[in-house]
């Protein structure tokens, strides 16, 4: 499997790949073969991802130009991309690149990543913003990164699958979180899987 990890929370996924499982992690600034997030003793300031975070490289990892990296993305060579999100709609629209009126360094590669055919898109984010407002909504209020592009949402409270033509399906709960808790903190309706359970 080939996967891209966005900056921030998604980068933590590299620490949870089971031994013996082969996942080739890509960063759009031109790295294939990212390793686990570095310990303080492993930090090399010359090894950074697209978000300027320090990373590790596995044996056999490679470096290449940004145009080669985006050719990989745009030609659907990636099976999975895990991104952060500011808002996700019940139909899988994603807003994750700008809050109007706030300074932004650039839109990054998210628009390319979510529009690549056959690439599964997973969004990892806090369920609510710092003010407690839902980030999962009927319709996004922020400028969109992509339309109907998200396949799965993983938050600190639960896991939703986006079912085309139907909306959200609650698949998993975090420990100590109930379906009622999720309903109270989500800005749209959703279905609940028959086997939903606390799994993480």
**Which residues are catalytic, by number?**
28
Task: Provide the terminal-to-terminal Cα distance of the chain, rounded to the nearest Å.
Answer: 23
Question: How far, in Å, CA of 44 to CA of 5, rounded?
Answer: 19
Strand partners, 172: 159, 197
The strand order across the sheet containing 136-137 reads 94-95, 87-89, 136-137
Residue 50 in contact with residue 7, Cβ under 8 Å?
yes
Which tokens is 190 given?
């959703």
Question: How far, in Å, CA of 190 to CA of 28, rounded?
Answer: 33
Q: Which residue has the tokens 């013996």?
A: 20
Question: How far, in Å, CA of 124 to CA of 159, rounded?
Answer: 9
Q: How many CA atoms lie within 13 A of 158 on its CB side?
A: 27
Residue 25 in contact with residue 4, Cβ under 8 Å?
yes
């Amino acid at each position: 499997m080939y996967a891209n990890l966005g900056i921030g929370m998604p980068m933590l996924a590299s620490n949870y790949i089971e031994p013996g499982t082969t996942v080739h992690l890509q960063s759009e600034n031109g790295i294939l073969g990212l390793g686990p997030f570095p310990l303080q003793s492993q930090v090399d300031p010359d090894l950074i991802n697209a978000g300027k975070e320090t990373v590790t490289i596995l044996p056999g990892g490679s470096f290449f130009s940004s145009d080669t990296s985006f050719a990989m993305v745009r030609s659907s060579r990636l099976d999975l991309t895990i991104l952060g999100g500011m808002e996700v709609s019940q139909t899988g629209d994603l807003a994750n690149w700008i809050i109007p009126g706030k300074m932004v360094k650039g839109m990054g590669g998210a628009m390319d990543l979510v529009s690549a055919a056959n690439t599964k898109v997973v969004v990892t984010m806090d369920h609510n913003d710092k003010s407690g407002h839902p980030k999962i909504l009927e319709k996004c209020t922020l400028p969109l990164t992509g339309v109907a592009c998200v396949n799965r949402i993983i938050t600190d409270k639960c896991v939703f699958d986006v079912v085309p033509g139907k909306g959200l399906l609650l698949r998993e709960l975090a420990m100590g979180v109930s379906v009622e808790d999720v309903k109270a903190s989500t800005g749209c309706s959703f279905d609940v899987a028959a086997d939903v359970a606390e799994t993480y």
